[in-house]
């Protein structure tokens, strides 16, 4: 069996995903075979593995950091929100039904512990190290009884826990102390120490606080990572509108042509896989922004209607905000529109949905000759093809089955005039195809924009992953981290009062 580590956080978005990826890349550089693992993930940004399993995009990216092929073992439970109170449960890469938050935490989650422990056990039998990512905060004491992703999995595997805190938010010392003090004595035994993320300034000014934290908790800080512009990995929270700075900020070259190209992305409800536009933002001279008002489409050279977990809801939202009429005007004027997955379905003539929204028969925007019927079986695929004379790869995640009745072919979807639609996510990451597509957009928009001839999205992503590895290697105590991974939590860690009442017994796998 291999060693391992659980990267937890004081809050959501503290930097767990970034730190996990950085540790994976650092270990891989050292010749260690390593795998990422997140027992349970809530995200609308997902990916399809080569075996046809749906997992969180963050785990797919972490696998890339580890230079291994992503599999369902790395994210056995994925929750895809369909609203404020329910989610689709994806188990081992396949959807198994919708469930309310109360229903999931009321019993279903605890029943999955054997599954996630089995996946972790299999990874540990294959790799030298497994770096686990927690979810939210381990101090969510109202959910501890059924936890399978934070202290629940750490207890089962006897993994040491590294708690990450975002100092840029403020209150990091209180967050570290409070997170530890709210855990039960048995859980506290596994909390090895802390990692400060997003620090700005002189580290020497922080050191007295780190010394006091050590005195208060008996736990050391394993590193202080500086705030770094241009970092980015695939976000988990598709409910939040955010164009990650990663790819956008990494491009410093001016436009190749005389004009920039403006891309507006409709921020539809339950937006999924908005990472599709990252490859556009990677191009010098392409400006990408998210919009929710019709007037924001006026000066856009390209409008993207992205994927969504609520196609009918997104359609209603577009109409309520006047965006549907704005899209129709664009189509009539021959101005480019691209619909991806749910966005493609919205652009069609008709939707029959007794599965996702259960709304029945609904008229689409009528911009593409497509009729969509929602099937209970989800399509999960990794298609390869050609468009605009260039090779393209992508992935599909959808319940809607499209019947295309006209137009020109486009990535298993269609094109009418300057309106394009496809179910393929990730197609814009194919460099040659992306350049040809942007050339078409620029022509239709009347812009003197020229795509850079040498932009490689894959290379940019690798540079980002190397930057994450650099942060760990240069600003964390890597010898101490390796000792944690190999030896487990330090003995004799003190209890910090008050602690939480002991949780209900959980399965312990001493043999893991």
Stretch (H or E) spanning 177: helix 172-181
Set 341, 414, 423, 475: catalytic member: 341
Stretch (H or E) spanning 125: helix 113-126
What is the number of alpha carbons within 13 Å of residue 78 lying toward its C-beta?
29
Indicate if 414 belongs to the active site.
no
Strands of the sheet containing 419-422, edge to edge, are 286-291, 261-266, 302-305, 337-340, 419-422, 413-416, 408-410
Distances (CA, A) of 332 to 237, 367, 419, 430: 35, 9, 10, 29
Q: What angle do CA 385, 390, 396 make, to 5 degrees?
A: 35
Cβ neighbours of residue 474 under 8 Å, at least 6 residues apart? none
CB 14 within 8 A of CB 163: no
Q: How many helices (H) and strands (E) does the chain have?
A: 17, 27
The token pair that represents 271 in the structure block: 């937006």
The 8-class DSSP code of residue 150 comes to S
Measured distance CA(425)–CA(343) in Å, rounded: 11
Burial class of residue 299 in the structure, from the number of CB atoms within 10 Å of its CB (0-12 exposed, 13-18 middle, 19+ buried): exposed
Taking residue 100's Cβ as centre, other Cβ atoms within 10 Å add up to 13
CA 456 vs. chain centroid, Å, equals: 21
Cβ neighbours of residue 118 under 8 Å, at least 6 residues apart? none
The 8-class DSSP code of residue 108 comes to I
The token pair that represents 394 in the structure block: 């992508």
CB 125 within 8 A of CB 512: no
Burial class of residue 295 in the structure, from the number of CB atoms within 10 Å of its CB (0-12 exposed, 13-18 middle, 19+ buried): exposed
Set 398, 399, 423, 425: catalytic member: 425
The token pair that represents 374 in the structure block: 């929602």
Indicate if 105 belongs to the active site.
no
What is the chain's alpha carbon radius of gyration, rounded to the nearest angstrom?
24
CB 399 within 8 A of CB 374: yes
The 8-class DSSP code of residue 500 comes to P
The 8-class DSSP code of residue 476 comes to B
Measured distance CA(385)–CA(399) in Å, rounded: 21
Give me the active site residues, please.
Answer: 341, 425
């Amino acid at each position: 069996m291999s060693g391992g580590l659980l990267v937890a956080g004081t809050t959501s978005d503290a930097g767990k995903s970034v730190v996990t990826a950085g540790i994976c890349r650092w270990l891989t550089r050292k010749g260690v075979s390593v795998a990422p693992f997140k027992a349970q993930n809530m995200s609308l940004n997902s990916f399809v593995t080569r075996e046809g399993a749906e997992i969180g995009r963050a785990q797919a990216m972490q696998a890339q950091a580890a230079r291994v092929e992503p599999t369902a073992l790395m994210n056995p439970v994925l929750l895809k929100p369909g609203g404020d109170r329910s989610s689709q449960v994806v188990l081992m890469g396949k959807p198994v039904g919708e469930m309310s938050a109360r229903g999931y935490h009321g019993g279903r989650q605890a029943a999955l512990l054997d599954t996630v422990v089995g996946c972790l056990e299999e990874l540990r039998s294959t790799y030298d190290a497994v770096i686990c990512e927690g979810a939210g905060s381990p101090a969510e004491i109202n959910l501890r009884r059924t936890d399978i992703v934070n202290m629940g999995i750490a207890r089962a595997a006897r993994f040491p826990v590294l708690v990450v805190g975002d100092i840029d938010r403020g209150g990091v010392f209180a967050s570290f102390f409070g997170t530890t003090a709210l855990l039960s004595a048995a859980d506290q035994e596994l909390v090895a120490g802390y990692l400060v993320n997003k620090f700005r300034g002189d580290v020497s000014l922080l050191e007295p606080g780190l010394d006091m934290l050590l005195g208060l908790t008996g736990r050391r800080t394993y590193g202080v990572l500086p705030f770094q512009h241009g970092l980015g990995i695939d976000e988990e929270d598709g409910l939040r509108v955010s164009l990650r700075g990663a790819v956008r900020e990494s491009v410093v070259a001016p436009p190749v042509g005389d004009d920039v190209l403006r891309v507006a992305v409709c921020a539809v409800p339950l937006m999924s896989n908005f990472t599709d536009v990252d490859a556009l933002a990677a191009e010098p001279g392409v400006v990408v922004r998210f919009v929710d008002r019709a007037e924001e489409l006026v000066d856009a050279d390209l409008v993207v209607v992205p994927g969504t977990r609520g196609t009918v809801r997104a359609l209603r939202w577009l109409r309520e905000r006047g965006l549907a009429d704005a899209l129709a005007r664009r189509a009539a004027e021959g101005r480019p529109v691209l619909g991806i997955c749910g966005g493609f379905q919205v652009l069609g003539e008709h939707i029959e949905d007794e599965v996702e929204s259960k709304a029945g028969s609904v008229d689409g925007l009528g911009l593409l000759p497509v009729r969509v019927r929602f099937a209970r079986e989800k399509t999960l695929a990794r298609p390869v093809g050609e468009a605009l004379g260039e090779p393209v790869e992508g992935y599909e995640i959808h319940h809607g089955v499209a019947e295309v009745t006209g137009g020109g072919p486009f990535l298993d979807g269609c094109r009418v005039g300057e309106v394009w639609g496809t179910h393929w996510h990730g197609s814009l990451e194919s460099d040659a195809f992306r350049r040809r597509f942007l050339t078409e957009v620029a022509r239709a928009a009347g812009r003197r924009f020229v795509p850079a001839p040498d932009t490689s999205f894959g290379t940019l992503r690798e540079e980002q992953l190397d930057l994450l590895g650099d942060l760990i290697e240069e600003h964390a105590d890597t010898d101490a981290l390796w000792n944690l991974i190999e030896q487990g939590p330090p003995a004799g860690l003190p209890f910090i009062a008050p602690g939480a009442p002991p949780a209900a017994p959980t399965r312990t796998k001493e043999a893991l």
